[in-house]
A and B are shown apart, each in its own frame.
Chain A
Amino acid sequence: MSRLESDLAAALAAGTPIPRDADGPVFAEPWQAQAFALVVALQNRGVFTAEEWAQALGAEIREALAAGGCRDGSDYYERWCEALEHLLIEKGLASHEGVDALAASWARAAEATPHGTPIRLENDPLR
């Protein structure tokens, strides 16, 4: 693990209840690991800082708790994805509509892909 990654892990552990065991984060489903990796990679590239990320995620979690969201932490990575999206929008790197459109496109691409070939975004029939 690079220094930046351990820093991120430490920051996360300090400020937020990341699902983890003695060795670090644990994931309930593969997409959660993918979302985790995306944030680590963006931070490694300097797209945002550990501080900014901790604030974005913290805000999302507090908001969810205030709205009566899951207290057992089972929706942690849903909040994680929202925090990422909001942070990227704030930085002018994404828009809600843009993410919505791309997500819809991936969903259609998956449906349209016959088994035996890889799911590619180009497989979206409306693209």
Chain B
Amino acid sequence: MSGHHHDHDHTHDNHYTPIEARVKALETLMVEKGYVDPSALDAIVETYETKVGPRNGARIVARAWTDPAYAERLKADGTAAVAEMGYGGRGGEHIVACFNTPEEHNLIVCTLCSCYPWPVLGLPPVWYKSPPYRAKAVIDPRGTLADFGVSLPEGQRIRVWDSTAETRFLVIPMRPAGTEGWSEEKLASIVSRDSMIGTGLPRIEDAVEDAR
């Protein structure tokens, strides 16, 4: 899988659990009857989008930055390394950590729906689920990053990872210069959600000193 760019070979990687299908059914029914506007639902969900383990991913990144052995384990088997930190989903889906390098920047998308590494990143932001992002991320990743105010050096390639129901990707941004000697807690504070989707970069000016 890791060698594949934008993999279209799957046939049965898409499924809803019974409860997910039921929620979709109730939603469809109410939308069809005109009692609910899908955009109103999005607006409500958006209010809570940081409410599923939003800091989990940041802690994983901070650990990878400070512990080279952990970074190696994360590279080799993302699912196990994430579980090691006490995080994980309902089982079944694999988490693949995509490490940014000076040569390559990673960007995640789900062209199909909104597959998202929620055990580590929380609820997907509304824009992640939007058709324009899903289409543009694949066709014009550099333009997509520009929409988010991110411009990368000319020579840095952008690799787009299309999530599936079985495989979720997590971007591991590069540790910024000027963060030497920082605690894991302080490092985690600069790892934004967007930097783990690939639509942002960690910014040292966002740092929060240790809360404790």
Interface residues, chain A, CB within 8 Å of chain B?
1, 5, 21, 23-31, 33-38, 40-42, 44-45, 47, 77-78, 81, 84-85, 88, 93-94, 98-100, 102-107, 110-111, 113-119, 121
Given contacts A98-B29, A117-B111, contact A5 B44 (CB under 8 A): yes
Pair A115/B25 contact, Cβ less than 8 Å: no
CB-based contact A93/B35 at 8 Å = yes
* Interface residue SS majority, chain B: loop
| B131 neighbours in A (Cβ, 8 Å) | 118
In the assembled complex, the CB of B149 is this many whole angstroms from the nearest CB of chain A, namely: 26
Contact of A103 among B22, B30, B89, B113 (CB under 8 A): B22
Which B residues form the contact surface with A (CB < 8 A)? 7-8, 10-30, 33, 35-37, 40-42, 44-45, 47-49, 51-52, 89-90, 111-114, 116, 118, 123-124, 131, 134, 162, 164
Chain B residue contacts of A44, Cβ below 8 A: 40
CB of A41 within 8 A of CB of B44, answer yes
Are A115 and B26 neighbours in the complex by a CB distance under 8 Å?
no
- A119 partner residues in chain B, CB cutoff 8 A: 14, 112-113
Q: How far is the CA of A55 from the CA of B137 in the complex (A)?
A: 45
- Most chain A CB neighbours (cut-off 10 Å) among B19, B42, B111: B19
Known: A42-B30, A94-B29, A119-B112. A107 touches B41 (CB 8 A): no
Which of the residues A81, A93, A110 comes within 8 Å of B33, measured between beta carbons?
Answer: A93
- Contact between chains at A26 and B123 (CB < 8 Å): no
**Can you list 9 A-B contacts with CB-CB less than 8 angstroms, sorted by A residue number?**
A33-B123, A41-B40, A93-B29, A99-B22, A99-B26, A103-B21, A103-B25, A107-B16, A115-B162
- Shortest beta-carbon distance, A10 to chain B, in Å? 15
Across the interface, do A102 and B162 meet the contact criterion of CB distance under 8 Å?
Answer: no
Chain A's nearest CB lies how many Å from the CB of B7? 7
Nearest chain-B residue to A1 (Cβ)?
B47
> Is the pair B116, A29 in contact by a Cβ cutoff of 8 Å?
no
Name 6 extra pairs, CB < 8 A, besides A1-B47, A41-B40, A42-B30.
A23-B51, A24-B48, A26-B48, A38-B41, A102-B25, A118-B134
Are B111 and A116 in contact, CB atoms less than 8 angstroms apart?
yes
Q: Do residues A115 and B19 form an inter-chain contact, with CB atoms below 8 A?
A: no
Closest Cβ–Cβ distance, residue A72 to chain B (whole Å): 16
CB nearest neighbor in A for B29: A94
Could you tell me if A45 and B36 are in contact, using CB atoms closer than 8 angstroms?
A: yes
User: Which chain A positions have C-beta within 8 A of B49?
Assistant: 33
Known contacts being A99-B29, A104-B21, A117-B112, is A110 close to B41, with CB within 8 Å?
Answer: no
Q: Do B26 and A84 have beta carbons less than 8 Å apart?
A: yes
Contact, CB under 8 Å: A85 / B26: yes
CB pair A26–B11 under 8 Å, yes or no, is no
Residues of B within 8 A of A21 (CB): 51
Residues of chain A contacted by B24 (CB below 8 angstroms): 102-103, 106
